[in-house]
Structure 1
Amino acid sequence: MKVLKFIGIGIVGIIALLLIIALIVPKDYTISVSTTIDKPQKVVFDYVKMIKNQENYSVWVMKDPKVKIEYTGVDGTVGSKSSWVSEDDNVGVGSQQITKITPNRIDVDIHFEKPMKGDDSAATIVEAISENQTKITNEFYGHADYPMNLMSLAFKDFIKKDQAQNLANVKKILESQP
C-alpha cells in the first residue's frame, strides 16, 4: 500500500513539475532554417512562390502519395491557396494561403484541421548573396497555449528537421537545372 502511495505522489509530482516548466516556456515561437542555393535570387524566388511546386520538394506533401490537394486562385500571387486532405496523420487536413508577397519574401497563413486544429503562419525569405548565389530562409511562426506550449519544445525539432529537408530538396532541384 505504501508503494502505491509513493508511486502516486511521484506521478503527481512529475505532473506538477511539468506544469511549472510550462509556465516559463514561451507560448509563441519561431523556427528558422536557412541554406544557400547557387542560383540567382529571381530564379529561387520565382520557384518557391509557386505553392504547387511544393509537390516537388515538401516532405509533408511527399509523406502521403495519396494526399488530395486542391488549388484555388492564381498560383504565386496573394490569395492563392492550397487545401489538402490526407488519411495519414503526419499530413492531416488543412490549408495554406499566400497573404503577402514582397520582392524577397512570401508570407502564408496555415490552417490545420486534423490531426489537431490550429492556425499558424510561415514565411520564405529569399535574399541575393551575389549575382548567382541566394540565401533562402524558411520561418515558421507558431503559438501554443498553456500547458500545450510544453509540447512545442519537441514539436520544434520535428518542424526544423522537415524545414531543413525541404530546403535541401529545393537546392537539389534548382541547382540541377541548367
Structure 2
Amino acid sequence: MSAISEQMEMFLRICVPYGVMFMLFIFNMVFFSTPLSTTIEIPFVVMVVYYWSIYRPTLISPLLVFIAGLCLDSLSGFPIGLSSFVFLVIRKTVSDQRLFLTGQPFMVIWLGFGVVSALSALVQWMLFGLMHMHWTPFQPVIFTIIAGVLLFPIIALLLNLSHRALPSLPDQYSAVK
C-alpha cells in the first residue's frame, strides 16, 4: 500500500469515533416524552465522555470536552459552562481511575457509569437551580438517570465498535502495562 493510501486509511479510521461522538451529541439535544408528561434528556455526551475517558482519553482532550459542553449549553438552554464543568470533572475523575477500570468486567463499568450519571445529573440539577434561583421538578432527573443507565450498554457497544476502527497504539500508550 502506498504512503498516501495508508495515511488516508488512518485518517478515515480516526474519523469513525468522532463521527459517532457527533451523532450522539446531536441525539443528546433531543428530548423524549414519557407517558407521565415528563420530558427526559438522555445523557449521551456523558456516556461518550465516560467511555473514552476509560478506553482512549487521548481521543477526547479537555479542550474538546470543554467545547462540547459549551455547545451543548448554548443549544439546549443550560447556563453556559455548566455542562463543560460537569464533563471536565467526569473526564478528570474517570481518567484518573482508568488503570483500575480497564481491567474490570463490564458490569463494574456499567455500575460506574450509573454512579457518574447520577452524580452528574444531580450536580447539573443543583447548579441549574442555584443559578436560576428556581428548582425544576426532580422527576425528570430520575428518568434521565434511569434512561441513561438502561441505554449505556447499547451505546457502549456502539462506542466499542468505533473504538475497533481506530489504529492501535504503540505499547507505550496502552492502558495497562
**Larger helix proportion, structure 1 or 2?**
2
TM-score range, shorter chain: 0.3 to 0.5
**Larger strand proportion, structure 1 or 2?**
1
- How does the TM-score come out when normalised to structure 2? 0.35
Larger Rg: 1
- How does the TM-score come out when normalised to structure 1? 0.34
